[in-house]
Structure 1
Amino acid sequence: MELRQLRYFVEVVDAGGFTRAADRLHLAQPGLSAQIRQLERELGQPLLHRSGRSVSLTEVGQAVLPYARAALAAAEGVRQTVDEYTGLLRGRVAIGVVSGGTGELVDVPAVLADFHAAHPQVEISLIEDSSERMQAALPAGELDIALMGTADATPPAGVAFRTAVDQPLVAAVVPGDPLAQRARPAIPLTALRDRPLICLPRGSGVRTVLERACADAGFRPQVAFEAAAPQMLLRLAARGLGVAVLPAADEEDLGGGLRVLRIKQAGLRARVVLAWRSAGPENPAARALLERLLAALPEQ
């Protein structure tokens, strides 16, 4: 029995079939199938039920799978221990960034480029996704680090974070909008009832905060337009298509002659956090990248 055969077995199970597993492993499917059959011959029992392109575990396969995973984890632990003693980092780091970009907050490409130059043996995987999906991916081990929005001031179970942005939400309207005619540059949240709103998409921290606050106020927000990039929200509002609800910004930065109105509602805030699993990243490479990203965060 060889360690690579156990790795192939686990990959086939995780991928749900030989074709996808072969693609992930960059192997020819016949060769992968041959290795699994060789493992089964050595063990004297079939591990997988094969049905077309799908596979399922036999009873023996179900019993073997935890030990196969443990063996692979132990082998990786040996490698990581040696690497830590020699000062060499390698492995894989998966990082997620909220859709719409956070370039003004942290120059993620620059941090990744510097990290890659210092640790060329580390494979870096970067995805852009919704905050909601990334929050679920962290404790599941699908991501090591995420720069994401959150609707809560405290992290959920299994996640730790450091707050990078904590700003009130504001409304942006064209000068001729009825909301802009108020004497004071502030409105109650209920003033947005029955108004077409322009907001970040569902799954974002800002959208979740808005929907919660409106529900508490007794109405459902009528989101007519949504976009991941705040600048798109402002461009839509500048055309008079609705009220843009977004994190606070200086009025001169908005462009398009928009009027900024403070929303008088407790807890209506936009938060962006750098998050990781509460137990800490599992591999030294992820821990090293997390340290660099934490250092790059703006002071709060």
Structure 2
Amino acid sequence: MELRHLEYFVAVAEEANFTRAAKRVHISQPGISAQIRQLESELGAELFDRSSRVATLTTAGEAALPHARATLAAAAAVRDAVDDVNQLVRGRLAVGMVTACTVTPLFDALAACRGAHPGIVFDLVEDNSDRLVDRVRAGTLDLALVGVAERPPAELSSLTVVSERLVAAVPSGHPLTASPAVPLSELCNQPLICLPAGTGVRTVLDRNCAAQAVTASVAMQASAPDAVADLARRGLGVAVLSESMAASYPDLASIPIADAALEAVLALVWKPAPSPALREFLDHARRAFMP
């Protein structure tokens, strides 16, 4: 029995799917299936029920899973201890970021950390903020840059990068530009162009609306701020973005939302007790985001 067999077993158990698990551990689907079969042969029992598309643990699999996780954790601890003595840092970090959100300091931190520690390999994953936070909680991501409403989840460690209010972004000459600010109730009567549910900016908008018992008239949504801005530029509605997002589009006028008190927060989040590799990356991230 080899450690990689246990790693593949845990991946399939957590993903409940051989194909997703294969992508996670960077081998082919037939390859991971063959390795699991070899492990089952050595143990003398089937670990998964393969009768459906979902890979469900058998009774033997349920019994083996906590021991497999403990063995992998012990092996990682041995390597970390030796690396600390040798002043080496190695490992693979899965880093999440909001879809279509190019954040230069994050890329600077990745480059600086990899330059200082070539033994660290990074896997970059894009998704919406809600799913990224769930994956950090589940341990399938080591760290994620996410947008949240008001403050990061309390059970996760975090580094707040920016906290800012929402604005309405419209072309010059739009009726909303006649006032220095727009009340949320008036804004919600406009056709709005928003990021999708599950993103930080959309969550902030929805919670501000709920606090004032108003309903936003969402006419269109797009997963990238560039698309939201372009739709507004064409007169299809009023874009709702954070202040820093809207500042990227100088041809659109940014109008403060007068009574939307809840702010959008961009933050790095991770589980407590980070690995040595993650600790090193966090050092570079702090320097990149807060020079």
Instruction: Give the TM-score taking structure 1 as reference length.
Output: 0.83
* Superposed displacement of residue 21, structure 1: 5.4
**For each residue in 1:197-235, what CA deviation from the matched residue of structure 2 results, as whole angstroms up to 9, or x when unmatched?**
122222111111111111222221112222343333333
1:66 corresponds in structure 2 to 66
* Superposed displacement of residue 179, structure 1: 2.1
**SS at 2:158 equivalent:** strand
* Superposed displacement of residue 250, structure 1: 10
1:40 corresponds in structure 2 to 43
Which sits farther off after the overlay, 242-251 or 258-267?
242-251
1:217 to 206, 212, 215: 212
Asked if residue 83 in structure 1 is aligned to residue 86 in structure 2, the reply is no
Whole-angstrom CA distance in 2 between matches of 1:266 and 1:295: 31
**SS at 1:81 equivalent:** helix
Asked if residue 262 in structure 1 is aligned to residue 263 in structure 2, the reply is no
CA distance 1:85–1:264, change in 2 (3 Å): same
**Where does structure 1 lack aligned partners over 5 or more consecutive residues?**
none
Whole-angstrom CA distance in 1 between matches of 2:192 and 2:273: 39
CA distance 1:212–1:68, change in 2 (3 Å): same
Which sits farther off after the overlay, 55-64 or 215-224?
55-64
Q: How does 1:102-117 map to 2 (within 5 A)?
A: 102-103=102-103, 106-117=104-115
Instruction: Give the TM-score taking structure 2 as reference length.
Output: 0.85
Whole-angstrom CA distance in 2 between matches of 1:73 and 1:243: 50
Contact 2:143 2:269 in 1 (8 A): yes
Contact 1:172 1:245 in 2 (8 A): yes
Q: How does 1:201-216 map to 2 (within 5 A)?
A: 201-216=196-211
User: For residue 39 of structure 2, what is the amino acid of its counterpart?
Assistant: I
2:57 corresponds in structure 1 to 57
**SS at 1:186 equivalent:** coil
Q: How does 1:1-300 map to 2 (within 5 A)?
A: 1-16=1-16, 24=25, 26=27, 28=31, 31-41=34-44, 45-51=45-51, 55-103=55-103, 106-153=104-151, 155-182=152-179, 185-248=180-243, 254-256=249-251, 258-277=252-271, 279-281=272-274, 283-298=275-290
Whole-angstrom CA distance in 1 between matches of 2:91 and 2:214: 49
Q: CA RMSD, aligned part only?
A: 2.8
**SS at 1:164 equivalent:** strand
Whole-angstrom CA distance in 2 between matches of 1:10 and 1:180: 56
**For each residue in 1:68-124, what CA deviation from the matched residue of structure 2 results, as whole angstroms up to 9, or x when unmatched?**
221221111111111111111111111111123243xx4333322222222222221
* Superposed displacement of residue 65, structure 1: 2.1
Q: Which of 1 and 2 has greater Rg?
A: 1
Whole-angstrom CA distance in 1 between matches of 2:224 and 2:114: 28
User: For residue 267 of structure 1, what is the amino acid of its counterpart?
Assistant: A
**SS at 1:194 equivalent:** coil
Contact 1:91 1:285 in 2 (8 A): yes
User: For residue 90 of structure 2, what is the amino acid of its counterpart?
Assistant: R
**SS at 2:61 equivalent:** helix
CA distance 1:55–1:222, change in 2 (3 Å): closer
Whole-angstrom CA distance in 2 between matches of 1:52 and 1:215: 42
- Give percent identity, aligned residues only: 43
